[in-house]
Amino acid sequence: MVMDQAVYRPHEGAAGPLAVTTTGLTKRFGDRVVVDDVALAIPAGSVCGFVGPNGAGKTTTIRMLLGLVRPTAGSGTILGGSLTEPATYLHKVGALIEAPAFYPQLSGRENLEVLARLGRLPRTAVDPVLERSGLLARAGDRYRSYSLGMKQRLGIAAAMLAGPELLILDEPTNGLDPAGIVEMRSLIRSFAGDGITVLVSSHLISEIEQICDYVVMIRAGRLVHQGSVDILRATQQAEFVIAPEHDGDRDLLAGLLGQAGCTVAPGDGAGVLVVQESGLGAAGLNRLAAQNGITLRQLAERTRSLERAFFALTGTESADVPDGQEMGAIR
């Protein structure tokens, strides 16, 4: 089901004050439109997932919010400051953009001191963020000796240095091992507990689903959806995986389900069907099969996931940007 413009609700669930708003945000590199007319409305205090496949324009959007890339068109406000004047709001923003980038020959602490001095922050601001990111014990070691997880944590520490009201994290779990990913999720959740608005981007929708209460979906540079995660999940139709005891009954079962108003598609495996039902529920499906002499060997409801919602909204089954819409070096 492709999202219809008529039912598209760009600011669904965004009641209350907004930390980030944009209107018509657009970025072109030559002939390529990397971000196209994006209107963001991110509620203050939310943990907002910014999802989309590789090449969707997430990083370019984030760079525009941080004043690193100049928008071709559009306007916006971040924490009340105009997008065209980053100096008015960036002192309240912390950011980790793509892979953490520090000076290899300096220690973790010295790297943060470089940023603290630049931002006119006291040197005493450094150790608390090192402690919170779990790096205090290794703060004196050179950055080049850090593992990938430690580098990522130093990036988070740098983002926290100014005591931000808005934290922008671009793919913060990239390259982390499973334990590191769990740690990172827990760290991000803890920021929300402090009242910080968090905008976290990822191409892994399932990851966003676990930590975010608000989601912005983008694909091929265009906004697909934004709103509350719970509301988005609730709007999804229930979907069942169903299989008759005898494979030969599959076509009969598919016909009966079709007559009952269900949308039926072949599933993985012999005799398996995927059914988008129309109000029957699991019991109704089972009853329909039994009344027609078919015993079911499988009847399971699929979890309503953001991933399915994303694919439903974009009308695709692929996470990649279609041919001809690649974003090049900049995402």
Contact set with other proteins (CB under 8 A): 63, 66-70, 86-87, 90, 93-95, 97-99, 101-106, 110, 113-115, 117-120, 158, 161-162, 329-330
* Residue (63 or 153) nearer to other proteins, CB: 63
* Residue (9 or 70) nearer to other proteins, CB: 70
- The rounded distance, in Å, linking the Cα atoms of 204 and 288 is 38
The least distance separating other proteins from the CB of residue 25, rounded to whole angstroms, comes to 14
- Scanning the chain, the segments in alpha helix (DSSP H) are 58-65, 108-118, 126-132, 148-160, 178-193, 205-211, 229-234, 250-259, 281-291, 306-314
* Residue (283 or 329) nearer to other proteins, CB: 329
Q: What is the DSSP letter of 107?
A: B
* Residue (94 or 244) nearer to other proteins, CB: 94
The least distance separating other proteins from the CB of residue 102, rounded to whole angstroms, comes to 6
The least distance separating other proteins from the CB of residue 93, rounded to whole angstroms, comes to 7
* Residue (114 or 290) nearer to other proteins, CB: 114
Burial (CB count within 10 angstroms: exposed 0-12, middle 13-18, buried 19+), residue 27: buried
CA torsion sign, 316 to 319 to 321 to 322? negative
End-to-end distance of the chain based on CA atoms, in angstroms? 27
The least distance separating other proteins from the CB of residue 200, rounded to whole angstroms, comes to 16
The least distance separating other proteins from the CB of residue 176, rounded to whole angstroms, comes to 18
The least distance separating other proteins from the CB of residue 168, rounded to whole angstroms, comes to 9
* Residue (120 or 283) nearer to other proteins, CB: 120
In which region does residue 64 sit, left (phi positive, over 0), alpha (psi from -120 to 50) or beta (all else)?
Answer: alpha
* Residue (12 or 98) nearer to other proteins, CB: 98
Q: Which residues contact 306 (CB under 8 A, 6 or more apart)?
A: 49, 51, 205, 206, 208, 209, 215, 229, 232, 233
Beta-ladder partners of 219: 222
- The rounded distance, in Å, linking the Cα atoms of 198 and 212 is 9
User: Per the structure block, which two tokens stand in for 250?
Assistant: 């599959």
The least distance separating other proteins from the CB of residue 107, rounded to whole angstroms, comes to 9
* Residue (158 or 243) nearer to other proteins, CB: 158
Contact 303, 240 (CB under 8 A): no
- The rounded distance, in Å, linking the Cα atoms of 23 and 76 is 6
The least distance separating other proteins from the CB of residue 78, rounded to whole angstroms, comes to 12
- The total number of residues shown for the chain amounts to 331
